[in-house]
């Protein structure tokens, strides 16, 4: 029988000792969880914006030959058309998605609002590949748009903001592109984007490749975008692409210059490694903080319980059993842990919320997104448990020792 | 009530063994009022601690109310201390953080009494020792004499048969000491067995029996001549 209520009341009576333990646990919990929350927020932000342009894609620019081949000197331009894209898709099973891309600068108008900006001619697979996701109620270019050369367009969110009044519904409305009417079929959901070629997507307008080619009387893509089925297929896919293009254009298959690749996986690997490094560093700092906090708690607990030896002697003298004494200290440690842990998590939550409220208006955040700290309750609970166990063990042994000696002995402690 | 035979207590101080008790026999009947006298270091506290089950003898036998105490487990000894013995110390030994009421309740906490019972009993005892208006005071808000009366009330909490007091007036002035001694005499009148260690001959001679210790042995054990 451990007198539970007596112990609880004792907590309020022996304020300083309990306050110290609670404080130590609260401090440890708050500092570790807050720090890891900030790190996690940073990590998620970078991971998310790193994927803003699309995940695991490759951008292919046509180049020119750098080796004489089959009677032709070097320096022959290689131009890619829809036929090449079709051939690549058919010849290379590793390709998951592929799209040619035209790009030009055009004026756009809606009633009295004008802007001039980038207009891209792209295929349906381009949208998902490049992480251009439309707001609900809209859609990206589809195969029927392609086949019938419809005058439809998808607008970047900044384009919408310029051409339409705030709150106005853009989808279904008509805008003029280069003097021709286009129906808006989708609006890009705002996103963060760390890398671009040509410009950020919030500034872009996309129309079907076929419509673009009819308007501009061109067939030659500025670039092609492709994505392998799996990241590990990337290198094989690139090699096969060069071979197929070389064969179709009569170039040396060993010629590296006929197309240039921007393999975003390479950059993403670097980003992921940096983020992994960040996590490792934070983990180490967190671990060290945990050790420091643990030592602090162990110290507080050890000293306070040792100082309570005389009180333990008094309790023993009036008839407390050893297990009742131990029970008291275990209960005390558990309650201190629970309260300290709750306070620590609360403080951490408060800090994290406050950091989330700090205004951050730098241009940088348009591309990366605001890092919002993310509190992990798993981490918090683990920290609280670890600190609690440390406190418990540190208090248990002096309490055990004091409860095992004859009361006369414990009473002699000054 | 108390039957201790051939008690020895040795303390190991590094390599030297200090013999604090060298074969002490004490027989005390229920209801007796006994004073223990002796020079400093003669083993009075050691003997009291053994009789109060706060310490165990190195050898010898001890029966309390007919039951052997040696060989009892730690928890059984705790129970004996809780139920059969009230101990009053020279230095009070009150919990500094607890109120007078909390201190008096303490033995009842460990015998499983309910909160209501504890509070009523503790309040009643504090009234009895004249501290009805000091229940919520902490020890450092009380005078020495008041602290010792709180300690006495605590010793009485579980209504034990035997009250042991080791120099209960040692830290008190004459007037405060006198009040405490009066309370012990009331207990005798109620039929409790009281053993009190003192340096004060006047207090000792009010007891019906004096045991004189010297150098770990009983030098004299007698009923004192009646003065006055
Ligand atoms: N824990 C201990 N360790 C070593 N020696 C001890 C211990 N307790 C008591 N002694 C020794 O035992 C002897 C008896 O001590 P005790 O405290 O019983 O004397 P006392 O008669 O109560 O003296 P006083 O009147 O000063 O209180 C002394 O020589 C003391 O030094
Ligand atoms: Mg003494």
The whole-angstrom distance between residue A188's C-alpha and the CA centroid of its chain comes to 20
pLDDT at A10: 67
Inter-residue contact A184 to A174 (CB < 8 Å): yes
Token pair belonging to A314: 């008094």
* Cα→Cα distances A198→A48, A413, B151, Å: 20, 79, 88
In a domain, B19, yes or no: no
For a pocket test of ligand 1, which of B37, B43, B219 has the largest count of ligand atoms closer than 8 A to its C-beta?
A: B43
Gyration radius (Cα) of chain A, Å: 33
Distance between CA atoms of B84 and B192, rounded to whole angstroms?
Answer: 11
In a domain, B68, yes or no: no
- Determine the atom of ligand 1 nearest the C-alpha atom of B44: 21
Q: What angle do CA A47, A53, A58 make, to 5 degrees?
A: 105
Gyration radius (Cα) of chain B, Å: 17
* Residue A178 phi, psi (nearest 5): 55, 40
Q: Residues A344-361: what's their mean pLDDT?
A: 85
Candidate from A1-10, A231-240, B99-108 with smallest mean pLDDT: A1-10
Q: Looking at CA atoms only, how far is residue A8 from chain B in angstroms?
A: 13
Q: What angle do CA A316, A321, A322 make, to 5 degrees?
A: 90
Domain that holds residue B80: 31-57+73-227
Compute the residue count for chain B: 228
The whole-angstrom distance between residue A270's C-alpha and the CA centroid of its chain comes to 15
Distance between CA atoms of A378 and A384, rounded to whole angstroms?
Answer: 10
Which residue in A318, A322, A408 is closest to B55 by CB distance? A408
Q: Tell me the residue ranges of DSSP E strands in A179-330.
A: 180-187, 205-208, 223-228, 259-263
Chain A residues in contact with B79 (beta carbon < 8 A): 319, 321
Whether residue B228 has pLDDT greater than 50: no
Residue B21's nearest CA partner among B57, B73, B55 is: B57
Does residue B44 line the site of ligand 1, with CB under 6 A? yes
Identify which ligand lies nearest to the alpha carbon of B44.
1
Secondary structure string (H, E, C) spanning A71-109: CECCCCECCCCHHHHHHHHHHCCCEEEEEEEEEEEEEEE
Chain A residues in contact with B87 (beta carbon < 8 A): 317-318
**Residue in chain A nearest B79 by alpha carbon:** A319
Whether residue B222 has pLDDT greater than 60: yes
Distance between CA atoms of B215 and B213, rounded to whole angstroms?
Answer: 7
Distance between CA atoms of A377 and A383, rounded to whole angstroms?
Answer: 10
pLDDT at A2: 66
In a domain, B177, yes or no: yes
* Residue A218 phi, psi (nearest 5): -130, 155
Q: Do B81 and A324 touch (CB under 8 A)?
A: no
Inter-residue contact A66 to A255 (CB < 8 Å): yes
Beta bridge pairs of residue A188: A134
**Residue in chain A nearest B80 by alpha carbon:** A319
Inter-residue contact A189 to A44 (CB < 8 Å): no
Distance between CA atoms of A43 and A273, rounded to whole angstroms?
Answer: 11
Whether residue A362 has pLDDT greater than 80: no
Beta bridge pairs of residue A104: A119
How many other C-beta atoms lie within 10 A of the C-beta of residue B219? 13
Token pair belonging to B155: 């010793």
Does residue B11 line the site of ligand 1, with CB under 6 A? yes
In a domain, B10, yes or no: no
Q: Which residue has the tokens 């590094």?
A: B14
Q: Tell me the residue ranges of DSSP E strands in chain B.
A: 2-13, 16-28, 33-37, 59-64, 67-68, 85-88, 162-166, 193-197, 209-214, 217-222
Q: Do B74 and A324 touch (CB under 8 A)?
A: no
Which helix (DSSP H) or strand (DSSP E) does residue B93 occupy? Answer: none
pLDDT at A139: 96
pTM > 0.90:
no
A183 or A271, higher pLDDT:
A183
How many domains, in total, are found in chain B? 1
List, in order, residues 6 or more apart from A144 with CB less than 8 Å away: A150
Band of residue A368 on the pLDDT scale cut at 50, 70, 90: low
Which residue in B95, B115, B157 is closest to A5 by CB distance? B115
pLDDT at B227: 45
Whether residue A262 has pLDDT greater than 90: yes
Whether residue A5 has pLDDT greater than 80: no
> What is the whole-number distance in angstroms between the Cα of residue A205 and the centre of ligand 1?
97
Most confident of A23-37, A299-313, B102-116: B102-116
Q: Is B81 on the interface with A (CB under 8 A)?
A: yes
Domain CATH for B208: 3.40.50.300
* Residue B72 phi, psi (nearest 5): -75, 150
Whether residue B161 has pLDDT greater than 60: yes
Whether residue A382 has pLDDT greater than 80: yes
In a domain, B109, yes or no: yes
Distance between CA atoms of A320 and A403, rounded to whole angstroms?
Answer: 9
Compute the residue count for chain A: 414
Secondary-structure percent of chain B, ordered helix, strand, coil, rounded to 5 = 35, 30, 35
Distance between CA atoms of A163 and A115, rounded to whole angstroms?
Answer: 8
Percent of chain A at pLDDT > 70 equals 95
A407 or A365, higher pLDDT:
A407
Distance between CA atoms of B50 and B62, rounded to whole angstroms?
Answer: 9
Which helix (DSSP H) or strand (DSSP E) does residue B98 occupy? Answer: none
How many other C-beta atoms lie within 10 A of the C-beta of residue B95? 21
Q: Do A324 and B112 touch (CB under 8 A)?
A: no
Dmax over CA atoms of chain A, in Å, equals 110
> What is the whole-number distance in angstroms between the Cα of residue B17 and the centre of ligand 1?
12
- The pLDDT tens digits for A138-163 are 999 999 999 999 999 999 999 999 99
Which helix (DSSP H) or strand (DSSP E) does residue A77 occupy? Answer: none
Return the axis-axis angle of helices A322-357 and A15-50, rounded to nearest 10°: 40
In a domain, B117, yes or no: yes
Q: Among A1, A317, A332, pick the best mutation site for testing chain B contact (most B Cβ within 10 A).
A: A317
pLDDT at A113: 93
Distance between CA atoms of A28 and A337, rounded to whole angstroms?
Answer: 11
pLDDT at A364: 66
Q: Among B9, B76, B93, B147, pick the best mutation site for testing chain A contact (most A Cβ within 10 A).
A: B93
Which helix (DSSP H) or strand (DSSP E) does residue A23 occupy? Answer: helix A15-50
Chain B residues in contact with A408 (beta carbon < 8 A): 49, 54-55
Inter-residue contact A74 to A67 (CB < 8 Å): yes
In a domain, B108, yes or no: yes
Which helix (DSSP H) or strand (DSSP E) does residue A29 occupy? Answer: helix A15-50
Inter-residue contact B152 to B180 (CB < 8 Å): yes
Q: Do A319 and B55 touch (CB under 8 A)?
A: no
Inter-residue contact A112 to A124 (CB < 8 Å): no
Does residue B67 line the site of ligand 1, with CB under 6 A? no
Distance between CA atoms of A137 and A139, rounded to whole angstroms?
Answer: 7
- The pLDDT tens digits for B128-149 are 999 999 999 999 999 999 999 9
Residue A10's nearest CA partner among A389, A335, A240 is: A335
Token pair belonging to A373: 């700290």
Distance between CA atoms of B198 and B180, rounded to whole angstroms?
Answer: 13
For a pocket test of ligand 1, which of B9, B38, B42, B219 has the largest count of ligand atoms closer than 8 A to its C-beta?
A: B42
Token pair belonging to A98: 């592929």
Inter-residue contact A363 to A45 (CB < 8 Å): no
Q: Looking at CA atoms only, how far is residue A318 from chain B in angstroms?
A: 5
- Residue whose CA is closest, atom 14 of ligand 1? B43
Distance between CA atoms of A294 and A390, rounded to whole angstroms?
Answer: 6
**Residue in chain B nearest A311 by alpha carbon:** B95
Interface of B with A in 145-204 (CB under 8 A): 154, 157-158
In a domain, B128, yes or no: yes
What ipTM was predicted for this assembly? Answer: 0.94
- The pLDDT tens digits for A102-141 are 999 999 999 899 999 999 999 999 999 999 999 999 999 9
Identify which ligand lies nearest to the alpha carbon of A408.
1
- Determine the atom of ligand 1 nearest the C-alpha atom of B9: 12
């Amino acid at each position: 029988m451990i007198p539970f209520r007596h112990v609880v009341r004792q907590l309020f009576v022996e304020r300083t000792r309990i306050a110290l333990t609670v404080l130590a646990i609260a401090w440890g919990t708050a500092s570790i969880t807050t720090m890891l929350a900030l790190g996690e927020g940073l990590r998620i932000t970078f991971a998310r914006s790193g994927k803003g342009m699309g995940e695991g894609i490759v951008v292919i620019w046509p180049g020119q030959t750098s080796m004489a081949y089959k009677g032709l000197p070097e320096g022959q331009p290689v131009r890619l058309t829809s036929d090449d894209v079709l051939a690549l898709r058919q010849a290379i099973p590793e390709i998951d998605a592929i799209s040619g891309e035209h790009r030009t600068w055009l004026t756009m108008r809606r009633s009295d609002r004008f802007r001039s900006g980038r207009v891209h001619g792209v295929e349906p697979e381009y949208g998902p590949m490049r992480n251009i996701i439309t707001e609900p109620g809209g859609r990206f270019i589809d195969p029927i748009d392609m086949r019938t050369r419809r005058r439809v367009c998808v607008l970047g969110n900044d384009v919408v903001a310029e051409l339409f009044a705030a709150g106005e519904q853009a989808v279904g409305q008509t805008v003029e592109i280069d003097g021709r009417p286009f129906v808006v079929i989708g609006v890009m959901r705002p996103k963060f984007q760390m890398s671009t070629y040509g410009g950020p997507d919030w500034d872009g307008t996309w129309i079907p490749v076929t419509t673009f080619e009819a308007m501009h009387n061109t067939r030659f893509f500025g670039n092609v975008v492709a994505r392998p089925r799996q990241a590990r297929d990337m290198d094989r896919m690139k090699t096969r692409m060069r071979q197929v293009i070389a064969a179709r254009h009569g170039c040396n298959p060993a010629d590296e210059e006929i197309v240039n690749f921007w393999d975003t996986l390479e950059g993403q690997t670097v980003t992921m490694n940096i983020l992994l490094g960040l996590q490792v560093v934070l983990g180490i700092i967190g671990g060290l903080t945990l050790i420091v906090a643990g030592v602090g708690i162990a110290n507080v607990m050890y000293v306070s319980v040792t100082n309570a030896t005389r009180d333990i002697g008094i309790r023993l003298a009036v008839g407390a059993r050893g297990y009742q004494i131990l029970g008291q200290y275990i209960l005390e440690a558990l309650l201190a842990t629970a309260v300290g842990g709750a306070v620590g998590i609360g403080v951490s939550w408060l800090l994290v919320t406050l950091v989330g409220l700090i205004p951050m208006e730098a241009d940088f955040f348009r591309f990366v997104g605001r890092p919002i700290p993310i509190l992990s309750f798993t981490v918090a609970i683990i920290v609280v448990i670890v600190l609690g166990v440390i406190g418990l063990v540190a208090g248990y042994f002096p309490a055990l020792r004091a409860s095992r000696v004859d009361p006369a002995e414990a009473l002699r402690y000054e | 009530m108390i039957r201790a035979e051939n008690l020895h207590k040795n303390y190991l101080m590094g390599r030297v063994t200090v013999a604090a008790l060298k074969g002490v026999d004490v027989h005390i009947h229920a209801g007796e009022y006994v004073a223990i006298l002796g020079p400093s270091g003669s083993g009075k506290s050691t003997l009291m601690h053994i009789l109060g089950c706060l310490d165990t003898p190195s050898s010898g036998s001890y029966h309390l109310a007919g039951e052997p105490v040696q060989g009892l487990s730690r928890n059984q000894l705790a129970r004996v201390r809780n139920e059969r013995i009230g101990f009053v110390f020279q230095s009070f030994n009150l919990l500094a953080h607890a109120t007078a009421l909390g201190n008096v309740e303490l033995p009842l906490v460990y015998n499983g009494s309910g909160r209501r019972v504890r509070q009523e009993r503790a309040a009643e005892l504090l009234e009895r020792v004249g501290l009805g208006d000091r229940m919520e005071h902490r020890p450092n808000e009380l005078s020495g004499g008041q602290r010792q009366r709180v300690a006495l009330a605590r010793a009485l909490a579980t209504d034990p048969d035997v009250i042991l007091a080791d120099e209960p007036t040692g830290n008190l002035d004459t007037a405060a000491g006198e009040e405490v001694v009066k309370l012990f005499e009331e207990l005798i009148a109620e039929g409790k067995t009281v053993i009190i260690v003192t340096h004060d001959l006047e207090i000792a001679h009010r007891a019906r029996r004096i045991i004189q210790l010297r150098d770990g042995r009983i030098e004299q054990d007698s009923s004192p001549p009646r003065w006055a």
